[in-house]
Structure 1
Amino acid sequence: MKKREKVSNVMTKDVLTINVNNSLKEANSLFAKHNIRHIPVVSGDNLIGILSKTDILRISFGDTFGDEQSGSDEAIFDMLSINQVMKHSPETVGSEDTLKEAAEILAKREFHALPVVDGEKLVGIITTTDIINYFLEQY
């Protein structure tokens, strides 16, 4: 196993983003359609936050009451904006940072994804799943 493996070698490079002006309905659809759990939120080309599936579930009734409450979820999604629900100014890593550095951040914090930013540009995302899969490939 490489001790200095770079984030760029493990991160998802073709990262799906959502604009801060999109709706929570659109975000929820992206989570379902692409089977993902984190979406960086951008304004133009600038990373301004990150939205997680958990953020959506916190404001949703769907998992609690089943499909019969989907109308309630729609109403909540209409009342709130991505800006109100997302994590603002998320912690990030650079593509040249090591997996160890990214893993240390994720292990100490209560989140499971880090946007990868070089300068001001979002270049990817790395998740706990990406790191675990990398380690599994090593054995």
Structure 2
Amino acid sequence: MIIAEDIMETNVICLSPDTEIPKAVEILLKNHINGVPVVNDNNELVGILCQSDLIFQQKTMPIPPIFTILDSIIPLSSSKKLEDTLKKISAATVAQAMIQDPITVSADTPLSEIASLMVEKHFHTLPVVDGKKLVGIIGKEDVLKTLIQKE
């Protein structure tokens, strides 16, 4: 049975939470990767930054519909959701744009479970952790390579 440890990349490109967005974009494009783990000074995974998180910044800000009753303005969309959208669109650092507490796998996670996560959750990149420590990364290509290795 193939497990994460068999296919994961251990030489992982990482970002720190305070990396500026233009630098993060440059790293993703230069290395042709869809996502990159974000780690703290102890190499503990604190988030993941994906191309889609950066593309989100190009999204226009939706104007929330409002409802007026007796001179009171009542927003019809969640102010928390609006606040989160504003933060993501205006992100200057990785910490502001990354997904916090991403889904992870351990080194002994079976390939079938990894493939299911990627398909069902539309993940392109899965961090491999031992506790909180980042030990590797698995991308779509790592999973696809197993198809040509089988005889």
Q: TM-score of the superposition, structure 2-length normalised?
A: 0.73
The residue type paired with residue 93 of structure 1 is V
Q: CA deviation at 1:58?
A: 2.2
Q: TM-score of the superposition, structure 1-length normalised?
A: 0.79
Task: Name the SS of the counterpart of 2:10 in structure 1.
Answer: coil
- Rounded to whole Å, the distance in 1 between the matches of 2:58 and 2:149 is 36
User: Which consecutive unaligned segments of at least 5 residues does structure 1 have?
Assistant: 62-75
- Rounded to whole Å, the distance in 2 between the matches of 1:91 and 1:124 is 13
User: Which consecutive unaligned segments of at least 5 residues does structure 2 have?
Assistant: 60-87
The answer on whether the counterparts of 2:37 and 2:48 sit within 8 Å (CA) in structure 1 is: yes
The residue type paired with residue 11 of structure 2 is D
Higher helix residue share: 1
Q: What do you get for the CA RMSD once the two structures are aligned?
A: 2.0
Question: Equivalent residue for 2:119?
Answer: 107
Q: How many residues align?
A: 122
- Rounded to whole Å, the distance in 2 between the matches of 1:85 and 1:79 is 6
Aligned-residue identity in percent: 30
Question: Equivalent residue for 2:45?
Answer: 47
The answer on whether the counterparts of 1:25 and 1:77 sit within 8 Å (CA) in structure 2 is: no
Task: Name the SS of the counterpart of 2:56 in structure 1.
Answer: helix
> Which segments of structure 1 move beyond 4 Å, counting only runs of 4 or more?
76-79
Larger Rg: 2
Q: CA deviation at 1:78?
A: 7.7
Question: Equivalent residue for 1:32?
Answer: 29
